[in-house]
Amino acid sequence: MRIGLGFDVHRLVEGRRLVLGGVEIPSPVGLDGHSDADVILHAVMDAVLGALALGDIGHYFPNTDPRFKDADSIQLAEEVALAMRGQGYRIGNMDIMVMAEWPKIAPHVSKMQARIAGAFQCSERDVGIKATTMEQLGFVGRREGITAQAVVLLLPSHGRD
């Protein structure tokens, strides 16, 4: 088995869609980035790539490449999942922590689990998603951005461990 860690942060700005965990949340502000800036999926992808020592998402999907302008991170995650399977691994489970003063993540968790599980071809029960505010402290507390962390355990596709 192998373990990986991922982290991402994006700035909240006006005039962008808010996409988190593959779910679009109606909002007057969204996350800024070259892609759709989905911090949750970016953290998960980095965790999976990290577990396999394959580098990071910037290596696979450079933010200078026009192909990834406003990219749907679910599609990028499907590519990472393909690389993971190519290395002979599958998701054991993952645990995600979102730091956001707003919006409330809890009402969207089941839909996010379904989207992430679909991209990585695993069970929704193997996708843990939790959220906390930052108690109005720092840039997250001032609603200037959202961050996410992910830990992923990978298991060999064949065999017990």
Ligand X SMILES: Nc1ccn([C@@H]2O[C@H](COP(=O)(O)O)[C@@H](O)[C@H]2O)c(=O)n1
Ligand Y SMILES: C[C@@]1(CO)OP(=O)(O)OP(=O)(O)OC[C@H]1O
Tell me if 16 contacts ligand Y by CB under 6 A.
no
| From 16, 21, 51, 61, residue interacting with ligand Y (rule: CB under 6 A) | 61
97 is in an annotated binding site: no
The residues near 18 (Cβ < 8 Å, ≥ 6 apart) are: 24, 25, 26, 27, 29, 30, 31, 103
Instruction: Report the 10 Å Cβ neighbour count for 65.
Output: 11
Judged by CB under 6 A, the residue of 1, 3, 5, 106 near ligand X is 106
- Using the rule CB under 6 A, which residue among 83, 128, 133, 139 binds ligand X? 133
| Distances, alpha carbon 155 to alpha carbons 43, 44, 87, in Å | 19, 16, 11
Asked if 89 is part of the footprint of ligand Y (rule: CB under 6 A), the reply reads no
Residue 42 annotated as binding site? yes
Planar angle of CA 71, 50, 94, nearest 5 degrees: 80
**Residue 58 binds to ligand Y (criterion: CB under 6 A):** yes
Residue 58 contact among ligand X, ligand Y, none, beta carbon within 5 to 8 Å by kind: ligand Y
